[in-house]
Amino acid sequence: MSMAYDVVAIGSGHNGLVAAAYLAAAGRKVLVLERNAWFGGGVVTRELTVQGFKHDQHSVGHIFIQANPLIRNDELGLISKYGLKYIYPEVPLISVFDDGTTLSLYRDRQRNYQELAKFSQRDAEAYLKFSEIAAHYLPMLIGTLYSAPVPMGAQFAMMDQSPEGREMFATMMKSSWEIITDWFEHEKTRLHFARMVGENLASPEELGSGISLFMFLGFMEKYGIGIPVGGSGALTAALIRCIEDHGGEVISEVDVSIIETKAGRASAVLTHDGRRFEAKDAVIGGIHPHLLRGYLHEAGVAPHVFERAERTTTSPCACITIHASLQEKLQFKAGNHVDKAAFIELLPVSIARFRRSFDDVRYGELPKDPLLALASPTNIDPSRAPMGKATMHAWAYVPFEVDGRPAAYWDEIKEAYADRLLERMSPYFHNLSSNLIIGRHVDTPLDMQRTSPSFQRGDLHGIAGHQHQFGAHRPTPDLGRNTVPGVDRLYLVGPFQHPGGGVFGAGRAAAMRVFDDLKMNFSQFNKA
Ligand SMILES: Cc1cc2nc3c(=O)[nH]c(=O)nc-3n(C[C@H](O)[C@H](O)[C@H](O)COP(=O)(O)OP(=O)(O)OC[C@H]3O[C@@H](n4cnc5c(N)ncnc54)[C@H](O)[C@@H]3O)c2cc1C
């Protein structure tokens, strides 16, 4: 059986959907194929525990998509026409220390000044200067995020032209820890910012993590964290409505096995159940670099392209998540003000313990002090649970292979390890006990790889954000422009492509490339 479309997208992750939606809106006949029984990949909301409780299985907060013209200018009408609505909490993130004190990160600079002054007047003053620099960098950073990356050599040459560019280059090469300790003196301030950067799946001590500190702070002040009403999957739902409204189709439980090529051009996809979908103009592939060879083994791609792709490195920080439906809302001992925050970091007041936790993960061990964080989305959007009830989404960093054992070991230990994490969390709350929990669902790094092949080895960002896998070299220099050398009209999307993991709406850059190749006019969406 063979069916013909202009464009076929492999995978209904938000990036594939974004690319497909632009093409559908421009009049192409689009088909999106998803192997799971549900849509959205990492942008999904499901009743994972008990009926009536909606859980964001993966992403919770949509941060970096907020500056994307897709959302900022509502280029496809996701907000005005297709029902997407964001809430922007005034406190995107809070650090709750084990001595009962807290440090909130507000969207408002002056309030952050007051917060930091609780612990150090000097840090509060430094923050004003620091956030000024972050705000200054922000437009430059945003300028690089939502279109094809500039070639690496040109980017560095450009930065080398001015003192400001050279300063930014140095910031990019440094670790965020180096920058934090340079600017801030108090242990809690340092922990607060280091944990914030750590949300990027990297130890703050990793060289090259410096710029993410400025980027995160710049985004927090200007855009905050967007929490979609109804759940993370509301973005997926809006994208699907947009595609269908333009005559496209999005189908579940279709697992693509091969990309067929004809005369060096992607021409169709074949599925595991023997179907064939012809793609006259383009194939969009949410294909992890480790898996690319399997889809294209007869396409005549140069072996080094696959070899380099297979050598891309994942982050040592994989993730375990606990989703719980709760009898009532969580009661923090630190006070009700914690409820206002989107992301809540639970931290020991010890830099040594904090730093060692990342080291434990790097050595393949379960950390002695788990790096725990959580969100309680019902505090911000009560529509996700029956009245008076609540949800919790907790996460911690762990290795993919524990103590050198195969990843399948996670299937044996996951419930017991989740119990251990909940025990570690409970001293922060008045009411976190087994009586509070109606139902729970635990995802290990192996489960994440099973739910989406983008999350190889439990890496939420597909591959690590190391400098050699950055910009036009992400995932490799061969594949960094969303295309595969030797195969025309195949466009890669995923967290392993520029600009990296997270809800960025990066499928827009892939769509721009397709538009270019098909001599279509992308500026029709320009509403700026
Ligand atoms: C636990 C967790 C928490 C996270 N939290 C956040 C957060 O709060 N904020 C944030 O910004 N980011 C977060 N992320 C990261 C974010 O979710 C991902 O980076 C993002 O969703 C990736 O989107 P994508 O479309 O590129 O890929 P994916 O979402 O992985 O989508 C790929 C899709 O393709 C499908 N697919 C793959 N191969 C095939 C095939 N052969 N045939 C058919 N279908 C196929 C997959 O099933 C999947 O649905 C989190 C991720 C995880 C796992």
Instruction: Please list the helix, strand and coil fractions of the chain in percent, rounded to the nearest 5, in that order.
Output: 40, 20, 40
Name the residue range of residue 127's domain: 118-222
Based on the fold, state whether residues 330 and 401 are members of the same structural domain: yes
Per-residue HEC secondary structure of 100-156 comes to CCEEEECCCHHHHHHHHHCCCHHHHHHHHHHHHHHHHHHHHHHHHHCCCCCCHHHHH
501 lines ligand 1 (CB under 6 A): yes
- Shared-domain flag, residues 304 and 320: no
The predicted structure's pLDDT at residue 1: 60
Q: How far is CA 305 from CA 24, 152, 302, 314, 475, in A?
A: 31, 18, 6, 18, 11
Kindly state whether residues 210 and 236 are assigned to the same domain: no
Judge if the beta carbon of residue 232 lies within 6 A of ligand 1: no
Within a 10 A sphere around the Cβ of 17, how many other Cβ atoms? 35
Residues 499 and 506 sit within 8 Å (Cβ to Cβ) = yes
ipTM of the complex: 0.99
Atom from ligand 1 closest to the CA of residue 453: 37
**Residue among 257, 503, 504, 508 to mutate when testing ligand 1 (max atoms within 8 A of CB):** 503
Sign of the four-CA dihedral 21, 455, 478, 499? positive
Report pLDDT for 202: 85
Q: What is the 3-state secondary structure (H, E, C) of 32-98?
A: EECCCCCCECCCCEECCCCCCCCEECCCCCECHHHHCHHHHCCCCCCCCCCCCCEECCCEEEEEEEC
Domain end position, chosen among 173, 201, 222: 222
3-state secondary structure of 269: strand
Q: What is the pLDDT of residue 494?
A: 98
Q: Are 347 and 195 in contact (CB under 8 A)?
A: yes
CA-proximal residue: ligand 1, atom 34 (nearest): 11
Residues 31 and 81 in one domain: yes
Q: Structural domain tally of the chain?
A: 3
Angle at CA of residue 371, ends 436 and 353, nearest 5°: 125
Rounded CA-CA distance 48/323 in Å is 8
* Pocket of ligand 1 contains residue 31 by CB under 6 Å: no
Question: Can you give the CATH number for the domain in which 70 is found?
Answer: 3.50.50.60
Q: State the residue for tokens 């375990």.
A: 320
**56 has which bridge partners?**
45
Name the CA dihedral angle for 236, 242, 245, 251, rounded to a multiple of 10 degrees: -30
Last residue of a domain, one of 170, 192, 222: 222
Q: Is 76 in the pocket of ligand 1 (CB under 6 A)?
A: no
Does 209 lie in the same domain as 152?
A: yes
Report pLDDT for 200. 86
Of ligand 1's listed atoms, the one at least distance from the Cα of 39 is: 49
Q: List the chain pLDDT tens, one digit each, 528 residues.
A: 679 999 999 999 999 999 999 999 999 999 999 999 999 999 999 999 999 999 999 999 999 999 999 999 999 999 999 999 999 999 999 999 999 999 999 999 999 999 999 999 999 999 999 999 999 999 999 999 998 899 999 989 999 999 989 999 999 999 999 999 999 999 999 999 999 999 988 899 999 999 999 999 999 999 999 999 999 999 999 999 999 999 999 999 999 999 999 999 999 999 999 999 999 999 999 999 999 999 998 889 999 999 999 999 999 999 999 999 999 999 999 999 999 999 999 999 999 999 999 999 999 999 999 999 999 999 999 999 999 999 999 999 999 999 999 999 999 999 999 999 999 999 999 999 999 999 999 999 999 999 999 999 999 999 999 989 999 999 999 999 999 999 999 999 999 999 999 999 999 999 999 999 999 999 999 876
Whether ligand 1 lies within 6 angstroms of the CB of 503 is answered as: yes
Instruction: Please identify, among 222, 238, 265, the residue that sits at the C-terminal boundary of a domain.
Output: 222
Q: Please state the φ and ψ torsions of residue 101, each to the nearest 5 degrees.
A: -85, 165
> Is residue 91 assigned to a domain?
no
Q: Is the CB of 495 under 6 A from ligand 1?
A: yes
Question: Which atom of ligand 1 approaches the CA of 497 most closely?
Answer: 26
Give me the residue label for tokens 């612990």.
119
Ligand 1 close to Cβ of residue 499 (< 6 A): no
User: Do 481 and 514 lie in a common domain?
Assistant: yes
- Partnered with residue 345 across adjacent β-strands are 95, 373
